[in-house]
Amino acid sequence: MQRVVTGLPDRPSAGLAPIFTPEVRYWAAEIQFWAAESGLDANLVATVMQIESCGNPLARSPAGAMGLFQVMHYHFYETDNPYDPDTNAVRGMAYLKRSLDAAGGDFRLALAGYNGGIGVISRAESAWAEETQRYVYWGSGIYQDAVTTNASSGASESLRLQEWLATGGASLCKQAKQRLGMGDE
């Protein structure tokens, strides 16, 4: 598959931690661009993409979330193509930014808000849906590993990401790999 992102200038991909799967790293330059445009950390953006779609621009959830960042239909304008990576990123990053702002900069709470709706941020974690609790577990661990890896010359993998892959994430990444035409890289 050819890269579906068009109209973006060439951008360097330095700064993204090496822990992410190849399917997410495929989007490294775009992730950095989207993160910079929205004022977010590229590793947080990559973490959300990792868990939401593993880089599959045509992913769709049973709940109706769409695209790279699994954005719900009501976040799009009528004229938007929710599967266009740039459009999906703009809508997804706007919601992630809103969530981070509502969480006072706490990335764990922002992840909860991204998954369960911004209203969950003010609730006790024990009141969050199990799906949201799992999302925060996976996302916070992966993000912390990314930040730690980027801050040092330490390990280039995430134990939390490996755990996520082993508990079902690998099937999501397999779909992304096929969609991106990556073969058995």
Could you give the C-alpha distances from 173 to 93, 163, 168, in angstroms and in order?
Answer: 21, 14, 9
Residue-range domains of the chain with CATH:
22-180 (1.10.530.10)
Which segments of the chain have a pLDDT < 70? 1-14, 150-155, 184-185
Q: pLDDT tens digit string along 63-93?
A: 999 999 999 999 999 999 999 999 999 999 9
Closest CA to 46 of 139, 132, 116: 139
**Structure tokens that stand for 145 in this block:** 């590993």
Instruction: Identify the sign of the CA torsion 81, 84, 90, 92.
Output: positive
